[in-house]
Structure 1
Amino acid sequence: MKETKEQREMMLPGNKVEIRKAEGEPTKIVGYAVRWDQLSHPIFGLFQEQFKRGAFAASLVNPDVYAAWQHDSREVLGRTPNTLQLFEDDIGLRYEITPPSWAEKHLETIERGDVRGSSFIFRAIKEEWDESNPDMAIRTVIEADIFEVSPVTTPAYPQSSVGIRSAQDVFNERRALPNMDNRGDSHAEERLDLIMIEHDMRLRKLSI
């Protein structure tokens, strides 16, 4: 299961996708796919997630990553190393896309603020879990591969997609590990069951 990719979206403060125009330079789409040590919103009520600085360092040595509009592989905006650049800086994993001429219509929607989120597809290589808060575990991704970055209109954590693990998959795998719930708390299993019930209710609302 670890070989399967995961998809995440970023709509946190200060994470807005921007258009950069400089005299004599091509127009670029600029944003951060990841911000270091910044906790995500609860992912379907199951867990929060953060990435440690340098998580993608190994993946960026010889990257083959592409950028697509709204994760649509028919609308590729750029690809490493020529029209997509990825950098790890003090803030996070930054991307700069030099889009093709046909993408002018998309640039306008970003400039107007209609599209302001970033989404990325990754595979966790090394991770840690903090379960000191029994109501909300925290997953820290220490090392990961990056495969795709995308400007998106309305980020939403996908529950199922070909070749992509859902948030529930990640949580269930962690839950299946020995001693996850054996912390001397007789109510831990009950709380986990309530989380899963709430998760199912949210899925039903999303499908309406």
Structure 2
Amino acid sequence: MNGESERRFTRGLVEVRAAGESVRTIGGYAAKFNTLSRNLGGFVERIDPGFFAKSEGDGWPEAMARYNHDDNMLLGTTGAGTLRLATDGTGLDYSVDVPAARGDVYELVQRGDVQRSSFAFYTFEDDWAMTEQGFPVRTLLSGQLVDVAPVNTPAYLDTSSGLRSLAERAGAELAEVRSAAEAGHLEKFVEQPKNPVVVDVHMDASVVGREVQRTLMALKTSPRGQGDTHPRLAIRQRRAALMQRRTF
């Protein structure tokens, strides 16, 4: 198991689910399966539907809900039944009964000031492959849930754990892998799969942009490209092909 906890944010919204004098509930999807993340710094990531299987099978031991992952902003726990977790075909769904002392968090969600969710986890197993477009993708296969969190700072945090996993897998130095990530050349550490990962409209815009740049460079360097008077058409066709892919 990776000794460092990681955090990821989802594009799903956190919402008010129940309101009353005694119970005020918020919730949403803390994680979504088989959806590519945005560029994490040289690679993208997706969550396998079985990632939470062990945690779920064990009854979500010691899982918590905390505002912005703050230790001092506890919202609920599975042990007390104030936090309820479940997985479905979309991802990891949570509902938490917000305590009276955290009424401000409930109000922020109700007003729409806080709209995103996040989860913290330990990784037991992951896998690395390449997309059809030659971009490294990390798949989270199994792990342990630490907490779920409504957040107002939806930005990916340090991804050193992911890069450390790739370095160990490739038998390379972490510093070398980090340098490659900064240069956008992690593909040399990833074994080329027989069946590359196929992505569609969920692909991060920066990945699509990178493919467009590759197409443009190919047009400039190929004999045909040097005399091609319609490079924009080729780029539009390449972009359309990328965006028409079906998801996994």
TM range (shorter): 0.7 to 0.9
Are positions 1:38 and 2:27 aligned together?
A: no
Residue 59 of structure 1: aligned partner: 55
Residue 100 of structure 1: aligned partner: 99
* Structure with more relative contact order (C-alpha pairs < 8 Å, separation 6 or more): 1
Superposed, which structure 2 residues align to 1:164-183 within 5 Å?
167-178=159-170
SS of residue in 2 equivalent to 1:17: strand
**CA deviation vs aligned residue, 1:62-100 (integer Å, no higher than 9, x gap):** 321011111111110001131111101121111110110
Would the alpha carbon gap of residues 130 and 25 (structure 1) be closer, same or farther in structure 2, given more than 3 Å must change? Answer: farther
Residue 202 of structure 1: aligned partner: none
TM-score between the two structures when normalised by the length of structure 2: 0.64
* d(CA) in 2 for partners of 1:25, 1:58: 33
Are positions 1:29 and 2:21 aligned together?
A: no
* d(CA) in 1 for partners of 2:47, 2:62: 20
Larger Rg: 1 or 2?
2
Q: 2:26–2:97: 8 Å Cα contact kept in structure 1? A: yes
* d(CA) in 2 for partners of 1:133, 1:77: 42
Q: CA RMSD in A?
A: 2.8
Are positions 1:7 and 2:7 aligned together?
A: yes
| Structure 2 counterpart of 1:195, from 184, 190, 194 | 184
**CA deviation vs aligned residue, 1:149-181 (integer Å, no higher than 9, x gap):** 11100212223xxxxxxx13422441453378x
Provide the identity percentage: 31
Which one-letter code corresponds to 2:77 in the other structure? R
Unaligned runs of 5+ in 1: 160-166, 181-189, 197-208
* d(CA) in 2 for partners of 1:8, 1:97: 19
* d(CA) in 2 for partners of 1:143, 1:52: 8
TM-score between the two structures when normalised by the length of structure 1: 0.75
Residue 143 of structure 2: aligned partner: 144
For this pair of structures, how many residues does the alignment match? 178
Residue 68 of structure 1: aligned partner: 66
Q: 2:14–2:26: 8 Å Cα contact kept in structure 1? A: yes
SS of residue in 2 equivalent to 1:54: coil
Unaligned runs of 5+ in 2: 173-178, 186-248
Residue 162 of structure 1: aligned partner: none
